[in-house]
Amino acid sequence: MKTVRVAILGATGYTALELIKLLLRHPGAKIEVLTSRQEGRPHVSAIHPSLTGRLDLTLEDIGPEAVAGRCECAFLCLPHAASAESAKALLARGVRVIDFSADYRLSDAATYRQWYEHEHPDAARLGKTPYGLPELFGSEIPKADLVANPGCYPTSAILPLAPLLKAGLIEPDDIIVDSKSGISGAGRTPKLNTLFPECNESISAYSVGKHRHQPEIEQILTRATGKTVNVIFTPHLTPMDRGILSVIYARPTRSLTESDVLSCMREFYAGKPFIRIVNHLPATKDTAHTNFVDITTRVVKGRVLLISAEDNLIKGASGAAVQNFNLMFGFEEATALL
């Protein structure tokens, strides 16, 4: 089996840690470079103690130009805007890139500017970069030099909705997505609202009507289904480490039974290794530490309810990235993920 040299730019966060753990068990990946802006070249085990004895690398404060000669694939776990700047430099030097930020997920610079309050550093690639959900865009990913890794919340909403929208079973302009996420979704940088005394034994909505994942959900569903999709998206912070549970409310275009909806989703995702269409109501513990998404439905008072559960750090981030890596470099899609 061939070996692909990889770099992880921005290696201090939770998603980077999960990515490292997945790549360490990947028979075709060799981690060569970890970067961070921290001073003093700390050993990776000083940043992530769970990696003690598993990876002997220090974190280097170097730019993409220096990284490029040491890898064939770079995973970018960087803030928006900074990620696109690094991607441009790496792509110009022949390195293939999987970007964890939102920099290439949206379709146009105007929407990016509106929601991220930045001019896009690489706007010419917007709308042309494959979105890294292999279940929907798998044919675009293998030949891509750049893949936009999906957002964690959008994954939990897009995957349940896409089959029904594609089949014309639900209205595209009357969709409500209500999502609950674990604290790790807020990242590792300390913030007041994620301190233990603030969030423990409490659940709260945030960014109501203005969360940056809302346009991502709408644009990707529109791209995948050919329908103009409008969504009301409300996220909640939940006092658990990891996981996302989304409950989605949609209006059917005709009378539907739960069996109709389940059959549609099962047919759509036949052969997709990480989508589990289940009869029971999924819970976040069912998918914790895995790359699975569990999805079911209920029909209540004429509305279709879709319920999905995923691990926000795995299928919502690092697992999806490895899935995309596998497709880009010719490995079996499930390598290191089952």
Residues 98 and 165 occupy one common structural domain: no
**Sequential DSSP letters for 175-194:** EEEEEEE-GGGG-SS--GGG
Residues 158 and 298 occupy one common structural domain: yes
Residues 192 and 301 occupy one common structural domain: yes
Q: What is the CATH number of the domain that holds 72?
A: 3.40.50.720
In a domain, 335, yes or no: no
Residues 137 and 201 occupy one common structural domain: no
Q: What is the pLDDT of residue 236?
A: 98
**Sequential DSSP letters for 205-256:** E-STTT-THHHHHHHHHHHHHSS---EEEEEEE-SSSS-EEEEEEEEESS--
Q: What is the pLDDT of residue 318?
A: 98
Range of the domain at 39: 4-150+316-328
Angle between helices 213-225 and 152-166 (to 10 degrees): 30
Q: What is the CATH number of the domain that holds 220?
A: 3.30.360.10
In a domain, 272, yes or no: yes
Residues 95 and 234 occupy one common structural domain: no
Residue 53, sorted as left (phi over 0), alpha (psi -120 to 50) or beta, turns out to be left
Q: What is the pLDDT of residue 77?
A: 97
> Based on C-alpha coordinates, what's the Rg of the chain?
19
Question: pLDDT tens digits for 246-262?
Answer: 999 999 999 999 999 99
Q: How many CB atoms lie within 10 A of CB 327?
A: 23
For residues 58-73, give the mean pLDDT.
Answer: 97
Q: What is the pLDDT of residue 203?
A: 95
Residues 146 and 168 occupy one common structural domain: no
Of 71, 152, 199, 264, which is the active-site residue?
A: 152
Selection from 33, 98, 22, 13 nearest residue 290 by Cα: 22
Residues 170 and 288 occupy one common structural domain: yes
Give the model's confidence band at 186: pLDDT under 50 very low, under 70 low, under 90 confident, else very high. confident
Q: What is the pLDDT of residue 38?
A: 81
Give the phi and the psi of residue 307 in degrees, each rounded to 5.
Answer: -125, 125
Residue 269, sorted as left (phi over 0), alpha (psi -120 to 50) or beta, turns out to be alpha
In a domain, 197, yes or no: yes
Look at the chain and report how many structural domains it folds into. Answer: 2
- State which amino acid sits at residue 100: F
The CA distance from 243 to 221, in Å, is 22
The CA distance from 316 to 321, in Å, is 9
Residues 112 and 175 occupy one common structural domain: no
In a domain, 337, yes or no: no
> Does residue 33 sit in helix, strand or coil?
strand
In a domain, 333, yes or no: no
Question: Which of 7-21, 123-137, 176-190, 272-286 shows the lowest mean pLDDT across its residues?
Answer: 176-190
Q: What is the pLDDT of residue 176?
A: 98
> Does residue 298 sit in helix, strand or coil?
strand
Residues 159 and 303 occupy one common structural domain: yes
Q: What is the pLDDT of residue 188?
A: 85
In a domain, 121, yes or no: yes
Residues 296 and 263 occupy one common structural domain: yes
Residues 14 and 124 occupy one common structural domain: yes
Burial zone of 14 (CB within 10 Å; 0-12 exposed, 13-18 middle, 19+ buried): buried
Q: Is the pLDDT of residue 40 over 90?
A: no
71 classed as catalytic: no
The CA distance from 13 to 220, in Å, is 26
Is beta strand 231-237 parallel, antiparallel or unpaired with respect to 96-99? unpaired
Residues 126 and 157 occupy one common structural domain: no
Q: How much is the pTM?
A: 0.96
For residues 277-296, give the mean pLDDT.
Answer: 98
Burial zone of 240 (CB within 10 Å; 0-12 exposed, 13-18 middle, 19+ buried): middle
Q: What is the pLDDT of residue 192?
A: 86
